[in-house]
Amino acid sequence: MDTSDIIKKVRKIEIKARGLSSNIFAGQYHSAFKGRGMAFSEVREYQYGDDVRDIDWNVTARFHKPYVKVFEEERELTVMLLIDVSGSQDFGTQKLMKRDMVTEIAATIAFSAIQNNDKIGVVFFSDKVEKYIPPKKGRKHILYIIREMLDFQPESKRTDVAQAVEFLTSVSKRRCTAFLLSDFYVRQDFFQQLTIANRKHDLVAIQVYDKRAKELPDVGLMKIVDAETGYEQYIDTSSKKLRDAYHRYWNTHQIRLKETFAKCNVDNVSVATDEDYVKALMGLFMQRR
């Protein structure tokens, strides 16, 4: 992709993502992802039902009637995007490749975050950490991130979610909200790393997959290639037995993945490349309120 094509695509994604974050996600994001704590805002007269522990005794003594401190949530967060850039992301049989949808979702989250004055950082990962972009604020920073997502070429095609999550735990000293975006086509167990990371941070998993991952079309002899290992083989998709086994494998994988997220207490959502990711994100945000 040449520079002019990248700039056009960045602009297109920016327009879409900013529109979504302004019109749809502004309030939902604010409600779903809380700040680090409460900051003092002002004092007002005591009202029935107020917590007596919030009484400001200095102001109360001065005006000879009770006043309470009013606190507001500290809104500024650090948001980390952990983005899978392995070989399996360059696949799509529908309108979008997985990489394209991940980019749009990440951009939408990023623009939602800066509307709340949050900082955004990124970890690109395969079976290792490919690139780390430290958290910063502002539109210019987000546009840089989007350009990187569109044009980044990883050194490895394989996937290791555990490495990325472990890196997050070590690099982010303060509590952050982290979005883990991947198809989660991994054979390694990452339960321990996910559990440790989610104790320190607020971790959210977003699975992006293509519908061909769960069902094969009946099109006869088909050559398939593993995008991460390069392994090639021919399969006979006219065999119902094969198609059923393929579908069972997908279901088993999804059940194990959901069980892992549940045990680690990680909020998660799955969205296919032919589905509306806006609906999926809204559902995720709503369940966190």
User: Do 15 and 57 belong together in one domain?
Assistant: no
The more confident residue out of 138 and 18 is 138
Question: Stretch 43-67: mean pLDDT, rounded?
Answer: 86
Nearest in space to 51 (alpha carbons), one of 62, 63, 38: 38
Residues 14, 144 contacting (CB under 8 angstroms): no
Indicate the residue among 47, 73, 99 that finishes a domain.
73
The predicted pLDDT at position 31 comes to 65
Pairing mode, if any, of strands 202-209 and 267-272? parallel
Tokens 């979504």 locate to 20
User: Do 54 and 178 belong together in one domain?
Assistant: no
User: Do 90 and 168 belong together in one domain?
Assistant: yes
Condensed to tens digits (0 to 9), the pLDDT of residues 264-273 reads 999 999 999 9
User: Do 54 and 142 belong together in one domain?
Assistant: no
The predicted pLDDT at position 34 comes to 58
The predicted pLDDT at position 289 comes to 65
User: Do 137 and 254 belong together in one domain?
Assistant: yes
Nearest in space to 96 (alpha carbons), one of 254, 242, 249, 208: 208
Question: For residues 32 and 20, what is the distance between their CA atoms, to the nearest angstrom?
Answer: 16
In the three-class reduction of DSSP (H, G, I as helix; E, B as strand; rest coil), residue 234 is classed as strand
Condensed to tens digits (0 to 9), the pLDDT of residues 201-249 reads 999 999 999 887 888 888 888 787 777 777 788 888 888 888 888 889 8
User: Do 58 and 164 belong together in one domain?
Assistant: no
Q: What is the separation of C-alpha 108 from the centre of its chain, rounded to a whole number of angstroms?
A: 10
User: Do 158 and 141 belong together in one domain?
Assistant: yes
CATH number at residue 270: 3.40.50.410
The predicted pLDDT at position 276 comes to 87
Share of the chain above pLDDT 70, in %: 88
Q: Which domain holds residue 62?
A: 38-73
Condensed to tens digits (0 to 9), the pLDDT of residues 1-30 reads 566 776 777 877 777 777 777 766 666 666
- Phi then psi dihedrals of residue 266, to 5 deg: -105, 120
Number of domains in the chain: 2
The more confident residue out of 50 and 139 is 139
User: Do 257 and 132 belong together in one domain?
Assistant: yes
Condensed to tens digits (0 to 9), the pLDDT of residues 103-118 reads 999 999 988 888 878 8
Question: Stretch 254-275: mean pLDDT, rounded?
Answer: 93
User: Do 63 and 143 belong together in one domain?
Assistant: no
Question: Stretch 27-52: mean pLDDT, rounded?
Answer: 69
pLDDT band at 70 (very low <50, low <70, confident <90, very high): confident
- For the chain, the average pLDDT equals 84
* Residue 166 pLDDT exceeds 90: yes
User: Do 65 and 94 belong together in one domain?
Assistant: no
Angle ∠(163,167,173) on CA atoms, nearest 5: 160
Question: Stretch 256-271: mean pLDDT, rounded?
Answer: 94
* Residue 73 pLDDT exceeds 60: no
Indicate the residue among 24, 57, 73 that finishes a domain.
73
User: Do 205 and 110 belong together in one domain?
Assistant: yes
User: Do 48 and 157 belong together in one domain?
Assistant: no
